[in-house]
């Protein structure tokens, strides 16, 4: 167990290195002279070399990368071209709303998804099952920015129950979190259902039935606990999509989060901001996956790792 955990943690390191190279390389892939694009300065201008150095674009590409990583470890992600503030500080200010959305959405979708999935599996091939599968298909297929607008139309504009802007109060948080959560409910319902149906056909369940264990105990103690492993992985993966998907919800509800920061950065061609936010989001995703992997090796001792 400890050996596996250590190995899994070590495996993440090359991943993070390659990831940092890709994010670093992003700016090089932009057609044209990055200094010119970002600062609007002509090559002939006197301040060209100064700006080039300030953006860390002088020297060979290897030198640039090493310097960039060194600065990262010092907590320096460069300065936003648009707001002139340090990128890391800006990200710090905007991380909380996105985290609230992603965590809230994950918790909500896990509760609903697991409940739906369990119910569908227990009532396999009956009306409840079909109904829940159709519902989850609709949830998966509706773009979050569309369901957000529908929810605003109903609960903010018509009924006037909930605000449609910001994340200031718990009341304001309801619609954004529900919107984001709904996108993940469908896939979690399906994963839970199919995982339960797989487990139910295993020998040890048949043995439990033969021994006369009550159905309720079989479903919740024997089947559900074992069916939970693929569901956990799925929740971990979903968390990443919700982190990125929060971008759309932040846009609709005018929440100043990380995703909105990224989109504005792309719009303003503010590349230090784009690099910083992409890096932070991707690293969070990799780390969450690592934690999930470690968690389920703790939950299920049967998992063998090679």
Partner 1 sequence: MTFQAVWKRFKRRKTSLIALFILLFIFAVALVGPFFTKYEPTEMALKNKYAPVSLDNPLGTDQLGRDTLTRLIYGSRVSLSIAFAGVLSGCFVGVLLGVLAGYFGSWVDSLISRLIDVLLAFPGLLLAIAIVAILGNGVLNTMIAVAIFCVPSMARIVRGIVISLKNQEFVQACQVMGASTGRILFRHVLTNAMSMIIVTVTLDLGSSILTASALSFLGLGVMPPNPEWGAMLNAGKEVMRSYPLGVLAPGLAITIVVISFSLVGDGLRDALDPRLKNLKIGESQ
Rule CB under 8 A: which residues touch partner 1? 15, 18-19, 22, 26, 29-30, 137-138, 140-146, 149-150, 152-153, 157, 183-184, 186-187, 190, 194, 240-241, 243-245, 247-248, 251-252, 262-263, 265-267, 271, 274, 278, 281-282, 285-286
Nearer to partner 1, 33 or 45 (CB): 33
Q: What is the rounded CA–CA span in Å between residue 109 and residue 73?
A: 35
Report angle CA 120, 122, 128 to the nearest 5 degrees: 40
Measuring CA to CA, which residue among 236, 134, 136 is closest to residue 185?
A: 136
Output the smallest distance, CB 45 to partner 1, in A: 24
Tokens of 208: 């439990």
Nearer to partner 1, 39 or 151 (CB): 151
Cβ atoms of 108 and 183 within 8 Å: the answer is: no
Nearer to partner 1, 222 or 270 (CB): 270
Output the smallest distance, CB 122 to partner 1, in A: 19
Q: What is the rounded CA–CA span in Å between residue 104 and residue 149?
A: 19
Tokens of 65: 């990368």
Give Cβ neighbours of residue 150 (< 8 Å, ≥ 6 apart): none
Output the smallest distance, CB 47 to partner 1, in A: 25
Measuring CA to CA, which residue among 8, 24, 13, 14 is closest to residue 279?
A: 24
For 7, 77, 229, 273, the CA distances from 16, given in Å and listed in that order, are 15, 16, 25, 19
Output the smallest distance, CB 127 to partner 1, in A: 15
Output the smallest distance, CB 15 to partner 1, in A: 6
In order, the DSSP letters of 46-90 are THHHHHHHHTT--S-HHHHHHHHHHHHHTT---B-TTT-SBHHHH
Nearer to partner 1, 114 or 278 (CB): 278
Cβ atoms of 243 and 98 within 8 Å: the answer is: yes
Nearer to partner 1, 1 or 150 (CB): 150
Nearer to partner 1, 6 or 154 (CB): 154
Length of the chain: 306
Output the smallest distance, CB 117 to partner 1, in A: 13
Q: What is the rounded CA–CA span in Å between residue 175 and residue 178?
A: 5
Output the smallest distance, CB 178 to partner 1, in A: 14
Nearer to partner 1, 132 or 252 (CB): 252
Nearer to partner 1, 173 or 249 (CB): 249
Residue 116, class by beta-carbon neighbours within 10 Å (0-12 exposed, 13-18 middle, 19+ buried)?
buried
């Amino acid at each position: 167990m400890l050996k596996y955990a250590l190995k899994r943690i070590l495996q993440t390191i090359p991943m993070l290195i390659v990831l940092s190279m890709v994010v670093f390389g992003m700016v090089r892939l932009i057609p044209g002279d990055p200094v010119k694009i970002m600062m609007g300065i002509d090559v002939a201008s006197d301040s060209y070399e100064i700006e080039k150095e300030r953006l860390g674009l002088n020297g060979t590409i290897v030198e640039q990368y090493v310097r960039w990583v060194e600065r990262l470890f010092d907590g320096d992600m460069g300065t936003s071209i648009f707001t002139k503030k340090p990128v890391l500080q800006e990200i710090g200010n905007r991380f909380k709303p996105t985290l609230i959305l992603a965590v809230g959405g994950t918790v909500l979708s896990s509760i609903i998804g697991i409940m739906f999935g369990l119910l569908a599996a227990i009532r396999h091939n009956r009306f409840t099952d079909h109904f829940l599968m159709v519902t989850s298909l609709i949830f998966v297929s509706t773009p979050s920015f569309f369901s957000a607008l529908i929810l605003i139309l109903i609960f903010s504009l018509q009924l006037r129950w909930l605000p449609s802007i910001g994340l200031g109060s718990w009341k304001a948080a309801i619609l954004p979190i529900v919107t984001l959560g709904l996108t993940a409910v469908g896939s979690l319902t399906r994963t839970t259902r199919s995982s339960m149906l797989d487990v139910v056909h295993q020998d040890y369940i048949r043995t439990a039935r033969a021994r006369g264990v009550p159905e309720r105990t079989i479903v919740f103690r024997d089947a559900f606990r074992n069916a939970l492993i693929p569901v956990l992985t799925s929740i971990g993966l979903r968390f990443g999509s919700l982190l990125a998907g929060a971008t759309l919800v932040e846009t609709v509800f005018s929440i100043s989060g990380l995703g909105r920061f990224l989109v504005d950065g792309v719009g303003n061609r503010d590349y230090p901001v784009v690099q910083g936010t992409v890096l932070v989001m991707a690293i969070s995703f990799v780390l969450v996956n690592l934690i999930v992997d470690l968690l389920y090796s703790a939950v299920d001792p049967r998992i063998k790792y090679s």
